[in-house]
Amino acid sequence: MTQTIAIIVAAGRGVRAGAGGPKQYRPLAGEAVLARTAKAFLAHKGVDAVRVIIHRDDDDLYAEAMGALLGEKKLLPPVHGGAERQDSVRLGLESLEALAPEKVLIHDAARPFIDAGTITRVIDALDAAPGAIAALPVFDTIKRAGAENAIETTVSRDRLWRAQTPQGFGYKAILDAHRAAAGQTLTDDAAVAEAAGLRTVLVNGAPDNMKITQAEDFGMAEILLERKKTMYEFRTGQGFDVHQFEPGDAVILCGVSIPHKAKLKGHSDADAGMHALTDAILGAISAGDIGDHFPPSDPQWKGAPSHIFLEKACELVRETGGDITHCDITIICEAPKIKPHREKMREALAAIMKMDPARVSVKATTTEELGFTGRREGIAALATATVRLPAE
């Protein structure tokens, strides 16, 4: 059974954010706000699936904004929302009935800086309470205004919190609460839960988990992104793999089948290039090697396509909150010729890794007929991968 599903509410029009279309589809440092938000949940190991709720007129905008993320296994097809946010959430919850998750997280698309720690705290709190929301204590002095904005009174800030998202609940309970609240106007899902008598606890959110609401918020978001660039560290991993030839009619290298008078021998499909790259990525995040995750002694990997291994390595990087910024593969062989197939290799790897082909390098060399590759007994591959990780 699916345990936890995240709903991202992206059906609003965002009129307060000024011109430029719905704010969730507008670019933020070259990437749509919605895509940045979705990535955080797709990368979180505690989230089993993600569903985005969109306006019925936004199918094309959604597809363009999500781009390569549309291939993510955890991303469910979007569903259309309603006239108000509360309607959209209810429709999103109802769309999950067949999946019947244990927990559901509800998050605003316009909060693209949600971090893994906040998501984890909300999920974990649901083990002890029907509802849990991310929030921050109020430290500013609060004033209540009267006529003509004259101060009427000072409000005690004791036990006051500013609500954020995600807001998490037991799925069946919040679905029933939203159905019961249909027609009312409540400000967030915690208010819906409160109206239904569901106990909801507060967990620490994050100051950076801002909501883009007004036009000037985009400027603040850009500044925040620039600041975050200095909070990363870069690591480099390297990988090496060798496979010998055996009778066959093609070799598979970097996901491309190349006609040849032999094939490569191995427990899987023997893609030396992809194996080397997988090890390079695993090395960059200190996650062992390909044999640790896919032991050759396990019969389920016999003849397996190597993209499975590479996808797993990329998934582990995303779970750390990092991303792969560049990779470089060198194929070492006398034959077959690599150059005619190099661009297809780059495109194949980029598609698997969900990154720009411009960040993927594939090249080839020989050993001037020296050694086993020079004797045409097999193929070797070297790879390096650069990974950007959040600084500790």
Do 100 and 138 lie in one domain? The reply is yes
Is the pLDDT score of 12 beyond 90?
A: no
Q: Using one digit for the tens of pLDDT, what is the confidence trace for 45-93?
A: 899 999 999 999 999 999 999 998 998 999 999 999 999 999 999 999 9
Domain that holds residue 177: 4-229
Do 243 and 149 lie in one domain? The reply is no
Pairwise CA distance, residues 73 & 69, whole Å: 9
Among residues 214, 229, 244, the one where a domain terminates is: 229
Q: What integer pLDDT is reported at residue 18 of this predicted model?
A: 59
Pairwise CA distance, residues 316 & 320, whole Å: 7
The answer to whether the CB of 137 falls within 8 A of the CB of 38 is no
Do 123 and 209 lie in one domain? The reply is yes
CATH of the domain at 279: 3.30.1330.50
Among residues 229, 247, 265, the one where a domain terminates is: 229
Q: What integer pLDDT is reported at residue 268 of this predicted model?
A: 86
Pairwise CA distance, residues 213 & 221, whole Å: 11
Is the pLDDT score of 338 beyond 90?
A: yes
| pTM of the predicted model over 0.85 | no
Do 255 and 225 lie in one domain? The reply is no
Do 101 and 69 lie in one domain? The reply is yes
Do 225 and 246 lie in one domain? The reply is no
**Total domain count, the chain:** 2
Helices (H) and strands (E) in the chain, counts: 12, 18
215: pLDDT confidence band, cut at 50, 70 and 90? confident
Do 311 and 192 lie in one domain? The reply is no
Report the pLDDT averaged over residues 92-121: 95
Q: Give the DSSP letter string of 358-385.
A: GGEEEEEE--TT-HHHHTTSEEEEEEEE
Do 222 and 255 lie in one domain? The reply is no
Determine which of 193-197, 319-323, 378-382 has the lowest per-residue pLDDT on average.
319-323
Q: Which residue has the tokens 């090890």?
A: 279
Nearest CA-CA partner of 375 in 253, 241, 244 = 244
Do 208 and 271 lie in one domain? The reply is no
Q: Tokens in use for 344?
A: 């297809």
